[in-house]
Structure 1
């Protein structure tokens, strides 16, 4: 588990926006993951994804890393933002756009 947590930590810090989800951004495998992908596509920002269905260790590891039990999980600028519902709420309030803009502006 330590290796997986280190890998997640590296990915979260390496990528401005990363989503741990079921499926891929091209083919989400659940409605919640699809909703998060749609939000980032609407915002027209680059984002990375990791398919937790391909690796059970990754699926359990990201839950442990974030202390959050559901998938998808969104990280922006190295910080855990939340799952689908929180991401949707932040999008609707305009806060997600601000977080994304700040993340993209950082070098």
Structure 2
């Protein structure tokens, strides 16, 4: 399922370092959390869908690591780096065993079907 990404040869050499490092700290933070925890929910303050995902995990008795990056009014550029890295357009971003499983509704489907328990077994 390859998705189109601008080839490095189509990026001028003078801007490649900026492209490669822009908000890399937030991507590194999430990558490390995903490596260290079975379930990670990446969100932002004030987003009801992030709360929905976390409540669903709590109700299912699934421990999770939460990362919030800003709010509707702050840090949207940093969140964009995550969106470009994952290809996922919205928050939350839910990771289970190092795999992006989607957002709140996707997570609820996994819980309802029993697949989340299988992924964590």
Q: Please classify the TM superposition score into its range, dividing by the shorter chain length.
A: 0.7 to 0.9
Q: CA RMSD in A?
A: 1.7
Unmatched tracts of structure 1, length 5 or more: 24-28, 103-107
Higher RCO (C-alpha 8 Å, min separation 6)? 1
TM-score using structure 1 length:
0.77
TM-score using structure 2 length:
0.69
Is 1:15 the counterpart of 2:37? The answer is yes
Question: How many residue pairs were aligned?
Answer: 96
Which of 107, 116, 119 in structure 2 is aligned with 1:87? 107
Larger Rg: 2
Instruction: Detail structure 1 runs of 4+ shifted over 6 Å in the superposition.
Output: none
Change (3 A) 1:77 1:19: same
Q: Tell me the alpha carbon deviations over residues 8-64 of structure 1, each in whole angstroms, 9 at most, x when there is no partner.
A: 2222111111100123xxxxx222111101111011122110112264454222212
Is 1:63 the counterpart of 2:83? The answer is yes
